[in-house]
């Protein structure tokens, strides 16, 4: 039997199981914004040979916080494209709120978009950035369609599964639990801008956003971004306009990329040793031909 001590006002499992899941280990918590961080555990269903994530949160004894948790978990269970699906959730006095999702990592643990970027030396090629932006915008569109906003998205809450698909981690959860703070329309636009900032980070390596580069640095980096993404980033990160919805941002991204001229392919220059060999054969053949003409052979 495994016992967890009380930490951060959350009483963890007194048993090593949660329903059909055997709790294996605790991994790093996730910050969902609005001053709320959730502890994460990996659980395994031995009978079905599946792995899952368990998120644990303290809710207190107020009925309003419990109702908000049920509302947030129910909304998350109904989302579709590129959102980490909620498979089950539980609510009790001992454990607080518990949410169960699939485990989308590999044997090394969860893979975030930020971790994948670091593994690629801080920059991704244009096709990969476009694919990532498409996944993120499609996921964001499903969130907004459900009447939710997030306002605290970040590159570390973008999980990459074993097939290369991106899944947003518990989007809108922090906003709902915090009693829907702020103006939903403004937060929706901020969500779209955040996705554009993630795209800038992927193709230039600069960390944009509230805790990243200054607006001047972002403007300079956008000017250096590769085409056709540069044109889209100029529109998406405009301080005056930007895109109002993820659907609009996705439509313009597709139009720009589909009508972009094909990338110029530069012929690679052979190594010096290869060139010397080619020159030797060419000039050697010419010299032998001249000798043959002089000797009449």
| CA–CA gap between residue 260 and residue 49 (Å, rounded) | 45
Q: Determine, yes or no, domain membership for 277.
A: no
% of the chain with per-residue pLDDT over 70:
76
**Predicted local confidence at residue 165, as pLDDT:** 95
* Same domain, yes or no: 173 and 87: no
Q: Determine, yes or no, domain membership for 80.
A: yes
* Same domain, yes or no: 124 and 52: no
Q: Determine, yes or no, domain membership for 165.
A: yes
Listed residues 70, 102, 134: the one ending a domain:
102
Please tell me the pTM assigned to this model: 0.79
**Predicted local confidence at residue 169, as pLDDT:** 96
Residue 253 sits in which domain range? 113-258
* Same domain, yes or no: 118 and 252: yes
Other CB atoms within a 10 A radius of the CB of residue 204 amount to: 25
pLDDT at residue 217 above 80?
no
- The size of the chain, in residues, is 297
* Same domain, yes or no: 236 and 134: yes
* Same domain, yes or no: 61 and 188: no
pLDDT at residue 141 above 70?
yes
Averaged pLDDT, 240-266: 82
Q: Determine, yes or no, domain membership for 55.
A: yes
Which range among 77-91, 169-183, 189-203 shows the weakest confidence by mean pLDDT?
Answer: 77-91
Q: How far apart are the first and last CA of the chain?
A: 96
* Same domain, yes or no: 87 and 125: no
**Predicted local confidence at residue 182, as pLDDT:** 84
Q: For the chain, what is the domain count?
A: 2
Give residue 80's pLDDT band: very low, low, confident or very high (50, 70, 90): confident
* Same domain, yes or no: 184 and 245: yes
Q: Determine, yes or no, domain membership for 78.
A: yes
């Amino acid at each position: 039997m495994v016992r967890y001590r009380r930490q951060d006002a959350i009483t963890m499992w007194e048993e090593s199981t949660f329903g059909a899941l055997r709790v294996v280990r605790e991994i790093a918590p996730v910050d969902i914004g609005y001053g709320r961080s959730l502890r994460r555990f990996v659980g395994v269903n031995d009978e079905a040979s599946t792995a899952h994530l368990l998120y644990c949160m303290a809710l207190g004894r107020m009925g309003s916080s419990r109702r908000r948790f049920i509302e947030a978990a129910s909304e998350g269970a109904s989302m579709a494209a590129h959102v980490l699906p909620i498979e089950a959730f539980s609510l009790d006095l001992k454990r607080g709120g518990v949410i169960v999702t699939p485990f989308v990592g590999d044997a090394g643990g969860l893979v975030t978009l930020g971790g994948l970027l670091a593994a690629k030396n801080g920059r991704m090629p244009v096709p990969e950035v476009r694919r990532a932006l498409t996944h993120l915008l499609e996921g964001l569109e499903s969130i907004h369609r459900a009447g939710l906003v997030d306002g605290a998205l970040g590159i570390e809450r973008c999980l990459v599964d074993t097939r290369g698909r991106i899944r947003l981690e518990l989007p809108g959860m922090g906003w709902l639990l915090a009693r829907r703070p702020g103006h939903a329309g403004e937060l929706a636009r901020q969500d779209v801008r955040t996705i554009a900032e993630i795209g800038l980070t992927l193709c230039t390596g600069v960390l944009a956003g509230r805790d990243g580069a200054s607006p001047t640095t972002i403007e300079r980096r956008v000017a250096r971004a590769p085409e056709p993404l540069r044109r889209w980033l100029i529109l998406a990160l405009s301080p005056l306009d930007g895109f109002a919805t993820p659907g609009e941002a996705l439509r313009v991204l597709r139009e720009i990329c589909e009508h972009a001229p094909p990338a110029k392919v530069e012929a690679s220059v052979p190594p010096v040793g290869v060139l010397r060999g080619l020159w030797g054969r060419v000039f050697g053949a010419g010299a032998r031909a001249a000798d043959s003409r002089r000797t009449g052979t």
